[in-house]
Amino acid sequence: MEEEINQDQKTILIVDDEQPIREILVYNLKKEGYNTIEASDGVTALNIALEKYPDLILLDIMLPKMDGLSVCKRIKNSYNVPILMLTAKDTEIDKILGLELGADDYITKPFSVRELIARVKANLRKVENLSMPKGENDQSKKKENKIIVNDLELDLDKFEVKIRGEIIDLTVREFEVIKFLASQPGQVVTRETLLEKVWGYEYYGDIRTVDVTVRRIREKIEKDTSSPKILITKRGVGYYIASK
Any idea what the Cα angle at residue 196 is, between residues 26 and 151, rounded to 5°?
115
Which stretch of 55-59, 79-83, 92-96 has the lowest confidence by average pLDDT?
92-96
Asked whether residue 240 carries a pLDDT value surpassing 90, the answer given is yes
Asked whether residue 1 carries a pLDDT value surpassing 70, the answer given is no
Q: Which domains does the chain have, with CATH numbers?
A: 11-130 (3.40.50.2300), 139-241 (1.10.10.10)
- Whole-angstrom distance between the N-terminal and C-terminal Cα of the chain? 60
Q: Give the pLDDT of residue 156.
A: 82
Q: Average pLDDT over the chain, rounded to whole? A: 83
Give the helix/strand (H/E) hosting 138.
none
Asked whether residue 26 carries a pLDDT value surpassing 70, the answer given is yes
More confident residue, 108 or 31: 31
Interatomic CA distance for residues 167 and 11, integer angstroms: 30
Would you place residue 202 in the very low, low, confident or very high pLDDT band (cuts 50, 70, 90)? low
Across the chain, where does the E strand assignment appear?
11-15, 35-39, 56-60, 83-87, 105-108, 146-149, 152-155, 160-163, 166-168, 189-190, 231-234, 238-241
Interatomic CA distance for residues 119 and 201, integer angstroms: 8
